[in-house]
Amino acid sequence: MIPPDHPRYRSLVTRELLAESARKGIVSLEGLTAHGRGESFDYFIGERTTESALLAERTAAALLLAACEPVISVNGNTAALAAREIAALQKACGAKVEVNLFHRTEERVNLIETLLRSAGADVFYGRAERLLPLSHDRAWCRREGMFAADVILVPLEDGDRCEALVGMGKTVIAIDLNPLSRTARSATLTIVDELTRALPNITDACKTLSGAERGRLLAALDNNYHLSEAIREMTKRLSHALD
């Protein structure tokens, strides 16, 4: 039990949720470490949605709504932290929800698909094939899912797969708290925000953006701007610590 008077209570409770998900086999042990990396970066942006992140989230909504074959790629961490938020976003934008894992076993895929369904998502499933130009398990995806997608939302993605998807000509929207990561730098659009804050903002924007606003957002898409602003926020916060 984490004592509620602990100054980092919320962060510790999230860690316990992930640890519990790891015990159940949903989250990989390596996924726990990856989560910790994200926590540090979130700390640096003040554990809030910045102005530039909100713009990125609205732009993500515009991209998903403009897509012919949008896909939301879900891994263990994403399912453990945000299954309901994924289901809500799917309803708002009509994307396929597909499970793709770095540490892939059929058992984990099934566990995560079940968790997503119980949260209300309509999970796209079926026979996976080695379709991506990658050397390990991340090469697996489904021909009518990620492989056929034109716009893919990849929360918490590995850099290799993000680069491969962009190399295949796809529009890739990443949610990544590290603006210096290969994922962040190679994605078409990077949302530097924490997953459970980012997803509801994208969902809201899907419901409220007018056609004209969507057009303006797409025309103004500039990922360098989003990465630079995130780095600027982090630098500012660090510099303040010196005052």
Measured from the CB atom, the residue of 23 and 127 that comes closer to its own copies is 23
Q: Is 13 in the site for its own copies (CB under 8 A)?
A: no
Which span sits near its own copies by CB under 8 A: 34-42, 91-99, 110-118, 121-129?
34-42
Beta-carbon contacts of 111 under 8 Å, excluding residues fewer than 6 positions away, are 24, 25, 26
Interactions with its own copies, residue window 103-142 (CB under 8 A)? 135-136
Among 9, 24, 30, 118, binds its own copies (CB under 8 A): 30
- Strand ranges for the chain from DSSP E: 70-74, 96-99, 123-124, 129-130, 140-141, 151-155, 171-175, 189-191
Closest CA to 38 of 159, 178, 226: 178
Strands ordered across the beta sheet of 96-99: 123-124, 96-99, 70-74, 151-155, 171-175, 189-191
Measured from the CB atom, the residue of 218 and 238 that comes closer to its own copies is 238
Closest CA to 43 of 205, 241, 204, 222: 241
Measured from the CB atom, the residue of 123 and 177 that comes closer to its own copies is 177
User: How many residues line the site for its own copies (CB under 8 A)?
Assistant: 45
Q: Is 17 in the site for its own copies (CB under 8 A)?
A: no
Residue 231: CB minimum distance to its own copies, A: 5
Q: Are 156 and 18 in contact (CB under 8 A)?
A: no
Pairwise CA distance, residues 170 & 154, whole Å: 12
Which span sits near its own copies by CB under 8 A: 124-132, 146-154, 166-174, 232-240?
232-240
Q: Is 38 in the site for its own copies (CB under 8 A)?
A: yes
Q: Is 196 in the site for its own copies (CB under 8 A)?
A: no
Among 9, 10, 16, 122, binds its own copies (CB under 8 A): 16
Q: Are 71 and 100 in contact (CB under 8 A)?
A: no
Among 9, 24, 40, 208, binds its own copies (CB under 8 A): 40
CA distances from 129 to 71, 86, 132, 143, 172 (A): 17, 24, 9, 7, 20
Measured from the CB atom, the residue of 89 and 163 that comes closer to its own copies is 163
Instruction: List residues near its own copies by CB under 8 A.
Output: 1-3, 5-8, 12, 15-16, 18-19, 22-23, 28-30, 32-41, 43, 135-136, 159-160, 178-180, 182, 228, 231-232, 234-235, 238-239, 241-242
